[in-house]
Amino acid sequence: MSEDEIRKAWKEQPMLKPKIDKVVVNISVGKSGEPLERATTVLKELAGQTPCKRKAKKTIRDFGIRKGEPIACIVTLRKQKAIDFLKKVLPVVDNKLSRQCFDEYGNFSFGIKEHIELPGVKYDPEVGIFGMDVCVSVSRPGYRIRSRRREKAMLGSKHILKPDESITLAKDFLGIEVT
């Protein structure tokens, strides 16, 4: 399906037009203690929200990680905060994403090597430099029927979001160039 056909379908049937559901930002440090606390402060500054710490799922002796030890922090952004964060972060990757960044359901992810590349962020030797993963969930109106608590239902095959539609949304809404 071409981009023009997708846009035409969105105009004819507004329930088919996707939206950005949430943005999850993850900084994985690999150790607990002081490095994780610094990563938490960085993420709090960037997102404007208190991050949640994530624990290791299993023990890896070579890396010195024990099961249950906090090793990462994440924050989930929704609605306008998510869109504002994306518009702040996308210039770091030159508003370009690979087609491989999009999964089969239209969600996309990308990484940032150094948080100091973001506009308005200055290097602080006490904090250091952290990389982060940004995962964007894209959905359509009506997706709630498969996750609601009461009367869950299957989602129709024609209503499932495809990568081409998500790419069109990213180009139109966020100004991303997909290579």
Q: State the CB neighbour count (10 A cutoff) for residue 161.
A: 19
Handedness of CA 142, 171, 76, 160 (dihedral sign): positive
CA–CA distances in Å: residue 25 to residues 17, 48, 110, 160: 24, 12, 10, 24
- Confidence grade of residue 160 (pLDDT, cut at 50, 70, 90): confident
The domains found in the chain, sorted by start residue, are: 21-144+153-174 (3.30.1440.10)
- What percentage of residues in the chain have a pLDDT greater than 70? 100
How confident is the model over 46-74, as a mean pLDDT? 87
**Average model confidence (pLDDT) across the chain:** 88
Query: In which band, very low, low, confident or very high, does the pLDDT at 129 lie, cut at 50, 70 and 90?
Result: confident
- Summarised one tens digit per residue, pLDDT across range 99-122 is 998 999 889 999 988 888 888 888
Region 127-152 average pLDDT: 88
At residue 31 the predicted structure's pLDDT band, cuts being 50, 70 and 90, is confident
Q: Residue 12: what pLDDT? A: 92
- pLDDT tier for residue 145 given thresholds of 50, 70 and 90: confident
- If residue 11 lies in a helix (H) or strand (E), which one and from where to where? helix 3-12
Amino acid letter, 28 = S
Check if the beta carbon of residue 60 is closer than 8 Å to that of residue 44. Answer: no
Rounded Cα distance, 134 and 70, in Å: 20
